[in-house]
Each structure stands twice: as structure tokens, then as C-alpha cells.
């Protein structure tokens, strides 16, 4: 029977970060993957989404400059955009395996499951290890309604070879907003259906409302308080049936959330505790079995499930597994972004969770040169300062919110004040040169 110092289950960013860290420390490592090598982000998550979004951003920017140098609105050629996207996604699985081999890390394709606390089985082969890393991620949840077999997922959307004319997204999370933005700009009629009145609930309500208003102006339809009960196929189309509402579409995507991939692992045999959100860990990302660690989206911990968080945790796990005195994980502030149009982003303490001693400053940047030069319809920020006038959080809405939020994240992490920033010269005119206007 083969034996390793460590076996990593799952080849997404979390698992691979842990695997490389362990290998660098001289450990013998095996990575197991049951599906696409590289996991969600580069195959069916952030990266393909952002490639498709790039086409949309180019089109939207020209739309904003109609009659300001541009007359015609270009249309998105979906087939070509998809072909361009595949140049990014197609090579990923082979590249990832190649990179592992180059680093001296073994890899095996198949579903891993525990036989006991130190043995797993993959494709009938038994493998022993001193330590394990569980990095099995999440998959889309499918609503348990009649006709659920007609529902498609975000992964299906990202690889659509042709774009359906009428699309419904069920769910009010960031994935629905982002994919709706892409589909609409590429020419589909899009409806977002949500079960209550408060989509994107982790974000500031007033900012979300501004985003929805803007998306409605662009032509995206929202149907709130709609509880989907049934999906019926009618020829090539589908009918979504809810109490008091019916919507016909050519494709219906379920984006109601994601669930942990852990059933196949037989975790009870390894004495690993789970709850309905995922694998339970302590502040050292150690499970109830001290030889088994977990990181990334599979964690039950309520951190945003994002690529840089999964990478941070994978790196941490590799350190902690080599050094029992390594301190508990300390997360910096985590920026989260909705790549809609406009984009919305937040970091740190925002208006709704600010203390009474904090001060929230609302800034309308729409007429600032940065935004006006590209004729952006809206650019707003809400900044939270503590008693010492230290920036501790922000919410931003604009086409450039994704870049600005990272600048603000740096200022928060570095505890920079306006006087610190005034010591630097930034390139002008840029988002960075606006920063000192945003600080107190």
C-alpha cells in the first residue's frame, strides 16, 4: 500500500495551495481530484466568468459613450466570445497536472473516500497518509421542485455554446447578478427571480437598491417574492410556475446557492465532524480529527467563499501542518465584489454593521473626472471611519468598483490615513489618485 506524508483531496485553489506548501517543506504529497483538475475557479467559476465579462465590459463602455465619439453599439458575438474563453479554460486541467508533476507531487484522478482515520480509497486503491487536507469545495444547489431536471447551473451557463433568447436566473446572490449582466449585454432577455425582496443580502441595502435600479434601467427584469414551485417543459421552452406568477424562458438557471462536497468522503469513518454548511474546523483549520485539516469553500466557517480566501487558507494549512506552534489563522479584511453593471464591492465594516461611534461618509463620485470621462451613470461610495478617523470599511458602486475596493483594502490593512497618502505621488488621473479625496 502506498503511503504519503500528506494526501490532499480536491485540486482547487485551496487544495493546490496546501499541496505546494507541503511539498516545499519536503513532504511527500498526493493530490486526488475526481473531476476537472484546477477545481471551480479556473474551470467553471471566476476566470471563465471574467473572460465573458470582458466582452460585455467593452460593449458597455461604448454604450456609455454613445454620441460622445461612438455612434453604433457593437453586438457581442457569443460564439466567438465563448471560443476565446475556451482558450483559457481548455488547457487548465492538463496544465495543473503537469505543474504538480514538475513540483514532484503525485496526482490521482478519482473520488477519494475514507476507509478509516488514516486510509483512503481511490479507484479501489488503498492509500495511507499521516495527514490529510480536505479541500473538496462546493457545488451548485438545485431547488428541490417538480421539474428540477430542467434547471441548469452556473457551470452550464459559462459553457453555453449559443445564447438562449429568454433566460431566467433563480436566486438573488452574486452569481445570478453577474451571469444576468453577461447574458443581458450579450443580447438575451433576462429575468432574475428571487424568493424575497432582499437579494445580495450581505451587501448594503441602499447600494443594492441603486444597483437594481440601474440594472432595471438597462432592461433586466426583477421578480421578487416569487417562490418557484414547478418547472414545466413546453416544446423547446420552459415555464416557471410560482404562486401568482408564471414566466416562460428558453433556459432557467438555478443560482440559489452552493452546497458542500462531502457526502462521498465517508467522513464518519475518519471521525471528522460536519454540519449542514460544511466541515467544522477550529482556529487552526483542524477538524475534529487532529491529523485532518480542511480549507477553502468546504469549510463550515462563515467567511466569504472566494478564491483568495481559499488560497489564504490553503497556504495557512500547509504552515500549520508542519508546525504545531504556528499561531491561529488571522484573516485580514476580505473584499467582496459583484461583477454586475455597475459593479458593487464592499470590504470591512460597512454602514449596517458600523458601531455608533463610527462615522459613515457617503460620497457621490458620479461627477468626478474618473467617472465622468467615461460617462458612467452612477458612482457612489460609503466609507466607514472609526473614532480616530481611520478607514475601517467601504461599499462602492461603479464600473470601476472592483479596482477601487482593492485600493481601499490596502489602505485599511496598512491603517493608512490621509496624511500618509499625501506623502506619495500617484499616477494621475487614476483611481489611486482619487484616494486622498476619499480619506478624511
Ligand X SMILES: Cc1cc2nc3c(=O)[nH]c(=O)nc-3n(C[C@H](O)[C@H](O)[C@H](O)COP(=O)(O)OP(=O)(O)OC[C@H]3O[C@@H](n4cnc5c(N)ncnc54)[C@H](O)[C@@H]3O)c2cc1C
Nearer to ligand X, 345 or 431 (CB): 345
CA distances from 245 to 34, 227, 314 (A): 40, 9, 45
Site for ligand X contains 21 (CB under 6 A)? no
Q: Which stretch binds ligand X (CB under 6 A): 58-66, 257-265, 373-381, 427-435?
A: 257-265
- Class of residue 104 by CB neighbours under 10 A (exposed 0-12, middle 13-18, buried 19+): exposed
Angstrom distance (rounded) from CA 363 to CA 341: 19
Spell out the long-range contacts of 414-421 with Cβ–Cβ below 8 A and sequence spacing 24 or more: 415/390, 416/391, 417/389, 417/390, 417/391
Q: Which stretch binds ligand X (CB under 6 A): 45-53, 85-93, 224-232, 411-419?
A: 45-53
Site for ligand X contains 11 (CB under 6 A)? yes
- Class of residue 266 by CB neighbours under 10 A (exposed 0-12, middle 13-18, buried 19+): middle
Q: Which stretch binds ligand X (CB under 6 A): 81-89, 135-143, 161-169, 239-247?
A: 135-143
Site for ligand X contains 7 (CB under 6 A)? no
Site for ligand X contains 49 (CB under 6 A)? yes
- Pick from 60, 287, 307, 370: which binds ligand X (CB under 6 A)? 307
Site for ligand X contains 340 (CB under 6 A)? no
H-state helical runs in 186-277: 205-218
Site for ligand X contains 305 (CB under 6 A)? yes
Please report, for the chain, how many H helices and E strands are present, in that order.
Answer: 13, 23
Sign of the C-alpha dihedral computed for residues 308, 309, 313 and 314 taken in this order: negative
SS (HEC) of 382-426: EEEECCCCCEEEEEEEECCHHHHHHHHHHHHHCCCCHHHHCCCCC
x/- letters, 142..171, toward ligand X (CB under 6 A) = ------------x-----------------
**Do 368 and 434 form a contact (C-beta atoms < 8 A)?**
yes
**Do 369 and 311 form a contact (C-beta atoms < 8 A)?**
no
b/e burial code for range 66-86 (CB count within 10 A of at least 16 → b): eeeeeeeeeebebeebbeebe
Task: Look up residue 262 and give its DSSP letter.
Answer: -
- Pick from 310, 347, 391, 408: which binds ligand X (CB under 6 A)? 310
Site for ligand X contains 35 (CB under 6 A)? yes
Site for ligand X contains 13 (CB under 6 A)? yes
Site for ligand X contains 315 (CB under 6 A)? no
- Pick from 21, 45, 171, 335: which binds ligand X (CB under 6 A)? 45
Site for ligand X contains 335 (CB under 6 A)? no
Question: How many chain residues interact with ligand X (CB under 6 A)?
Answer: 35
Nearer to ligand X, 73 or 202 (CB): 202
Site for ligand X contains 137 (CB under 6 A)? yes
Minimum CB separation of residue 292 from ligand X in Å reads 13
Nearer to ligand X, 131 or 261 (CB): 261
Nearer to ligand X, 267 or 411 (CB): 267
Backbone angles phi, psi at 57, to 5 degrees: -65, -40
Helix 78-89 with 46-64: angle, nearest 10 deg? 140
Give me the count of residues in the chain: 440
- Pick from 32, 145, 247, 383: which binds ligand X (CB under 6 A)? 32
Q: Which stretch binds ligand X (CB under 6 A): 196-204, 305-313, 361-369, 370-378?
A: 305-313
Minimum CB separation of residue 229 from ligand X in Å reads 25
Site for ligand X contains 39 (CB under 6 A)? yes
DSSP strand E in 235-311: where? 237-242, 245-249, 251-254, 258-260, 274-275, 278-279, 292-294
CB neighbourhood size of 58 (10 A): 13
Minimum CB separation of residue 16 from ligand X in Å reads 7
Site for ligand X contains 265 (CB under 6 A)? yes
**Residues found near ligand X in the complex (CB under 6 A):** 9-15, 32-36, 39-41, 45-46, 49, 111-112, 135-137, 154, 175, 261, 264-265, 296-297, 305-308, 310
Amino acid at each position: 500500500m502506498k503511503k504519503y506524508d500528506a494526501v490532499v483531496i480536491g485540486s482547487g485553489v485551496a487544495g493546490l495551495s496546501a499541496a505546494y506548501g507541503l511539498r516545499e517543506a519536503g513532504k511527500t504529497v498526493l493530490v486526488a481530484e475526481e473531476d476537472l483538475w484546477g477545481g471551480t475557479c479556473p474551470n467553471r467559476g471566476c476566470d471563465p466568468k471574467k473572460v465573458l465579462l470582458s466582452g460585455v465590459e467593452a460593449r458597455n463602455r461604448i454604450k456609455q459613450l454613445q454620441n460622445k465619439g461612438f455612434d453604433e453599439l457593437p453586438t457581442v458575438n457569443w460564439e466567438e466570445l465563448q471560443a476565446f474563453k475556451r482558450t483559457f479554460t481548455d488547457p487548465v486541467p492538463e496544465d495543473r497536472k503537469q505543474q504538480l508533476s514538475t513540483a514532484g507531487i503525485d496526482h490521482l484522478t478519482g473520488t477519494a473516500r475514507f476507509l478509516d482515520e488514516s486510509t483512503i480509497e481511490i479507484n479501489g486503491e488503498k492509500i495511507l497518509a499521516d495527514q490529510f487536507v480536505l479541500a473538496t469545495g462546493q457545488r451548485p444547489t438545485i431547488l428541490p421542485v417538480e421539474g428540477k431536471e430542467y434547471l441548469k447551473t452556473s457551470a452550464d451557463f459559462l459553457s453555453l455554446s449559443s445564447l438562449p433568447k429568454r433566460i431566467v436566473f433563480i436566486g438573488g446572490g452574486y452569481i445570478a447578478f453577474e451571469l444576468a449582466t453577461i447574458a443581458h449585454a450579450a443580447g438575451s432577455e433576462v429575468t432574475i427571480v428571487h424568493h424575497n425582496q432582499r437579494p445580495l443580502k450581505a451587501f448594503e441595502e441602499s447600494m443594492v437598491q441603486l444597483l437594481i435600479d440601474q440594472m432595471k434601467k438597462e432592461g433586466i427584469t426583477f421578480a421578487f417574492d416569487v417562490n418557484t414551485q414547478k418547472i414545466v417543459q413546453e416544446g423547446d421552452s420552459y415555464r416557471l410556475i410560482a404562486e401568482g406568477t408564471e414566466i416562460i424562458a428558453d433556459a432557467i438557471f438555478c443560482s440559489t446557492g452552493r452546497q458542500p462536497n462531502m457526502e462521498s468522503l465517508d467522513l464518519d469513518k475518519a471521525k471528522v465532524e460536519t454540519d449542514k454548511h460544511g466541515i467544522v474546523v477550529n482556529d487552526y483549520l483542524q477538524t475534529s480529527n487532529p491529523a485532518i485539516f480542511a480549507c477553502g469553500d468546504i469549510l463550515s466557517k462563515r467567511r466569504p467563499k472566494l478564491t483568495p480566501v481559499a488560497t489564504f487558507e490553503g497556504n495557512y494549512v500547509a504552515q500549520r501542518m508542519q508546525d504545531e506552534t504556528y499561531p491561529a489563522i488571522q484573516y485580514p479584511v476580505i473584499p467582496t465584489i459583484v461583477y454586475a453593471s455597475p459593479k458593487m464591492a464592499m470590504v470591512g465594516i460597512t454602514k449596517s454593521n458600523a458601531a455608533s461611534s463610527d462615522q459613515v461618509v457617503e460620497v457621490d463620485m458620479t461627477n468626478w473626472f474618473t467617472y465622468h470621462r467615461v460617462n458612467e451613470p452612477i458612482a457612489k461610495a460609503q466609507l466607514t471611519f472609526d473614532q480616530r478617523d481611520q478607514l475601517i470599511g467601504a461599499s462602492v458602486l461603479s464600473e470601476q468598483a472592483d479596482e477601487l475596493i482593492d485600493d481601499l483594502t490596502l489602505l485599511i490593512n496598512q491603517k493608512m490615513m490621509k496624511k500618509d497618502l499625501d506623502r506619495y505621488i500617484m499616477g494621475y488621473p487614476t483611481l489611486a489618485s482619487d484616494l486622498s479625496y476619499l480619506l478624511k
